A and B are shown apart, each in its own frame.
Chain A
Amino acid sequence: MSDAALVVSGLSRHFGDVVAVRDLSFEVRRGELFGIVGPDGAGKTTTLRMLAGVLPPTSGDALLGGVSVARAPERAKPRLAYMPQRFGLYDDLTVRENLDFYADLYRVPRADRPARLERLYHFSNLGEFEGRLAGQLSGGMKQKLSLSCCLIHHPEVLLLDEPTFGVDPISRRDLWLILHQMVAEGVTIVLSTSYMDEAERCDRVAMLHEGSVLALDTPARLQAGLDGTLLSIRVDRPRAARAALQGEAGVRSAALFGDSVHVLLDAGVDPEWPARTLVAAGVPPTSVEPVDASLEDVFIDLVARSGAVPAGGAHA
């Protein structure tokens, strides 16, 4: 498995009686953009912390470039970079001082630094804020600075915990541009997100729910794998419509999508049937259309099939 940058096997973490992550196993190829998707509390942060070597697993292991993060985390650390969900840099240091500090910690050769800084500034547009305290940057700028500090030592594996959480759309786009550029250069990226539209940009996605992987594949295959008929129903009172359909025979899941309801029907169920049911229930739909499954639909279906109740649907 020479092209595996990360091999996770049986990784578990308990906090007392609570199982935060249960028996995780997957491989991430070199240069792959790998997404861990799931709602809050699914175990994304715990997983990334273990991969970053800052949280010892209860059992199982992960090999990063062949080095065990459970047994030799310090040997794995020079090869990885980890960006925590919460801003982990120093508010009372300037942009430049933070970058210099991380360059020192990773022992980036002095001679290489000007070129690397220039490149990072080019990516992030942080150059003009070089002397500004990190605490005075906007949320998006902070994330770009975090990412820059992670990239200063050219890591093999980049671990990002919800890197775009709370970031404005423009900065989100900038961040994704940087990530795609990194992947193009052969960096392996493992990122967590609760935004399904971001998950769709990943090469492969692991869908995490209550500490376990529900499914793992490319977004396209995950979407194609959704059998049955998916309908988008527009209706004045979506909550009432969902209530009327949920639990009926042939309805695999019914979930709110903004002001519409996505209903997944078992294969063979008459697609006209939901409209009739809704009319009878006093919530007539304004339109019913078949739609292609999004990752969110897939996730909701998987959760429904795993026997758990989706926690009010995932983020749009």
Chain B
Amino acid sequence: MLSWGRLWAVARKEWLQLRRDPRSMALAFAMPLALLLFFGYAISWDVKDIRLALVNQDDGEQSRELVQAFQGSGYFRVVERLPSTALVDRELAEAHVTGVLVIPPTFARDLAAGRGAAVQLLLDGGDANTATIAQSYADAIVARFSRDIVLRGRRMEMPAAAEVRIWYNPTLESRNMVVPGLVAVIMSIIAAMLTSLTIAREWERGTMEQLASTPVHRLEVIFGKLVPYLLIGLFDVAVTIGAGMLLFQVPFRGNPLFLGGATLMFLIGALGLGMFISATMKSQLLATQLAMIGTFLPAMLLSGFIFDIASMPLALRVVSLLVPARYYIVVTRGVLLKGVGPTVLWVQGLSMIIFAAIGLGLAAATFHKRIQS
């Protein structure tokens, strides 16, 4: 029943319209890169150069060594030296520094006596994330410093030590997490926005009425409209990943074909969803807004892109199961960073296929060649 000729005619028509609409062209081709650059540079969980104030009341050789250890780590930078702890409060309150390192006058004496010597690190907890990271860096630096002191002059290794190695992202660059995730987030938004206009526009402009009077099958309309956006989507993903590799040195360790297949399915699902919204709303404005909110927020917040799903409350964890970007993110991160393929990611691959079927199914179920009102 379906005719390739008609399907192709709809695809060609859609492409011609797209090409002549600067807004759609910008959305299709400029937005993904703009978003990548924006988020790629803006979102970073890496904490470096934490600004410290120093109150060194000891000023012995060992205290200077400790300060040196902080400075040399690359994570802390002493930007100020304070004579006493009196000003600490103000420094933190006015956010001149993120932390204050206080070395008490008894530091050297306690060390020499073999007692535990305490140093104090006051951190600004206003940014809990940075504070937590700074704390763990400080712990590590102090532990290493203590070990050196204990071991000094003795020929003895630590009896047991954990040697931690981080795989897949050895330097724990957050960009490596961000870019593959961004691909999923960006495509969720762009895909749904692109198609959210396409059916509503035809109802609004009155072109659907004449189209509906022709023998074109409604599935020919759906699939025909899908084709150009699908090609654009695939192009966008390729460009976004390519730019991520070039600009942010994100690795590509896995199989491009598997990623391509999963991407294709993900895009079909997202584009179908956009068309479903478009066919339901019949108004361009409502449709874009719904597509924007309906895809952007879940993809951003419930996909595991920014917030770890495992540590969410149960209700949100359940909701997140319905967010397609959640599965697609696992695929992009898995393929790019870990180099794993279908043997590991088959669940996600399968979810992509289900998503594609649901998206298209919804679009096909809601679009009719009939004037409703």
A85 to B206 Cα, complex, angstroms: 10
Q: Is B120 part of the contact surface with A, judged by Cβ < 8 Å?
A: no
Residues of A within 8 A of B12 (CB): 101
User: Once the chains are docked, how many angstroms separate the CA of A139 from the CA of B209?
Assistant: 19
Decide: B5 and A80 in contact? CB cutoff 8 A: no
Contact between A88 and B206, CB atoms less than 8 A apart: yes
Interface string of A131-172 (1 = CB under 8 A from B): 001000000000000100100000000010000000000000
Q: 8 Å CB contacts to B: which residues of A81-102?
A: 81-84, 86-93, 97, 100-102
Closest residue of chain B to A93 (Cβ to Cβ) is: B16
Q: Which of A89, A92, A107 contacts B210 (CB 8 A)?
A: A89
**A157 → chain B, closest Cβ, in Å?**
11
Contact B215 A77 (CB under 8 A): yes
- Decide yes or no whether A54 CB sits under 8 A from chain B: yes
Asked whether A105 and B214 contact (CB < 8 A) given A55-B370, A56-B370, A92-B17, the answer is yes
Q: How large is the interface on B (under 10, 10 to 19, 20 to 34, 35 or more residues)?
A: 20 to 34
With a cutoff of 8 Å between Cβ atoms, the chain B residues found around residue A146 in the complex are 210
Question: Which chain B residues in 350-373 approach chain A with CB under 8 Å?
Answer: 369-371, 373
A80 touches B13 (CB 8 A): no
Question: Given that A49-B371, A54-B209, A91-B205 are contacting pairs, would A102 and B17 also be in contact in the complex, using a CB cutoff of 8 Å?
Answer: no
Q: B13 contacts which chain A residues (CB < 8 A)?
A: 90, 93, 97, 101
Q: Which residue of B lies closest to A75 (CB)?
A: B215
Asked whether, in the complex, the Cβ of B206 is within 8 Å of the Cβ of A107, the reply is no
List B contacts of A102 (CB < 8 A): 214
Assess whether A93 is in contact with B17, with CB atoms less than 8 Å apart: yes
Q: Tell me the count of chain A residues lying within 8 A, CB to CB, of chain B.
A: 35
* B66-96 near A? 1/0 per residue, CB < 8 Å: 0000000000000000000000000000000
Task: Confirm or deny: A53 has a beta carbon within 8 angstroms of a beta carbon on chain B.
Answer: yes
Tell me the minimal C-beta distance from A145 to chain B in angstroms.
Answer: 11
B213-A54 in contact (CB<8A): yes
Q: Choose from B9, B16, B213 the contact partner of A52 (Cβ within 8 Å).
A: B213
Residue of B6, B20, B21, B215 most packed against chain A (CB within 10 A): B215
**Distance from A179 Cβ to chain B, minimum over Cβ atoms (Å):** 18
Contact A106 B215 (CB under 8 A): yes
- Chain B residues contacting A88 (CB-CB under 8 Å) are 206-207, 209-211
The closest CB in chain A to the CB of B372 belongs to: A55
Which among A54, A56, A91 has the highest number of chain B CB atoms within 10 Å? A54
* B16, A53: Cβ atoms closer than 8 Å: no
- Once the chains are docked, how many angstroms separate the CA of A99 from the CA of B133? 65
Task: Decide yes or no whether A174 CB sits under 8 A from chain B.
Answer: no
- A84, A93, A100: most-surrounded residue (chain B CB, <10 A): A84
B212 within 8 A of A: yes
Task: Establish whether residues A83 and B21, one from each chain, have CB atoms under 8 Å apart when the complex forms.
Answer: no
A interface footprint on B211-228 (CB within 8 Å = 1, 0 otherwise): 111111100000000000
Query: A80 vs B214: C-alpha distance in the bound complex, in angstroms?
Result: 8
Measured CA separation A235–B16 after assembly (Å): 59
Q: Does B8 contact A (CB under 8 A)?
A: yes
Q: How far is the CA of A74 from the CA of B215 in the complex (A)?
A: 6
Q: Name which residue of chain A comes closest to B214, CB basis.
A: A105
Is A78's beta carbon under 8 Å from chain B? yes
A107's partner among B3, B205, B371 (CB-CB below 8 A) is B3
Bound-state Cα–Cα, A49 to B319, Å? 43
Interface residues in B1-31 (C-beta closer than 8 Å to A):
3, 5-6, 8-9, 12-13, 16-17, 20-21
CB distance from B26 to the nearest CB of A (A): 16
A104 CB within 8 Å of chain B? yes
Interface centre among A56, A86, A90, A93 (most CB of B within 10 A): A90
Chain A residues with CB below 8 A from B206, complex form = 84, 86-88
Contacts of B211 in A (CB 8 A): 88, 105
Residues of chain A within 8 A (CB-CB) of B214 are 77, 102, 105-106
CB-nearest residue of chain A to B221? A105
Q: Are A107 and B213 in contact (CB under 8 A)?
A: no
Across the interface, which residues of B come within 8 angstroms of A87, CB to CB? 206
Q: For the complex, what is the distance from the CA of A84 to the CA of B208, rounded to whole Å?
A: 10
Closest-CB distance, B14 to chain A (whole angstroms): 10
The residues of B that contact A91 with a CB separation of less than 8 Å are: 205
Q: How far is the CA of A55 from the CA of B369 in the complex (A)?
A: 9
* Whole-angstrom distance between the Cβ of A91 and the nearest chain B Cβ: 7
- A-B residue pairs, 8 tightest by C-beta: A88-B210, A104-B9, A82-B213, A86-B206, A77-B215, A54-B212, A105-B214, A52-B213
Q: List 21 interface pairs A-B (beta carbons < 8 Å), by A numbering.
A: A49-B371, A52-B213, A54-B213, A54-B371, A55-B370, A80-B213, A84-B210, A86-B206, A86-B209, A88-B209, A89-B207, A92-B16, A92-B21, A93-B16, A101-B9, A104-B5, A104-B6, A105-B214, A106-B214, A133-B20, A146-B210
With A53-B212, A91-B205, A105-B215 given, name 16 new contacts (CB 8 A).
A49-B209, A77-B215, A81-B213, A84-B206, A84-B210, A88-B210, A89-B210, A90-B13, A93-B13, A93-B16, A97-B13, A101-B9, A104-B8, A105-B9, A146-B210, A159-B213
- Give residues in A with beta carbon < 8 Å to B: 15, 49, 52-56, 74, 77-78, 80-84, 86-93, 97, 100-102, 104-107, 133, 146, 149, 159
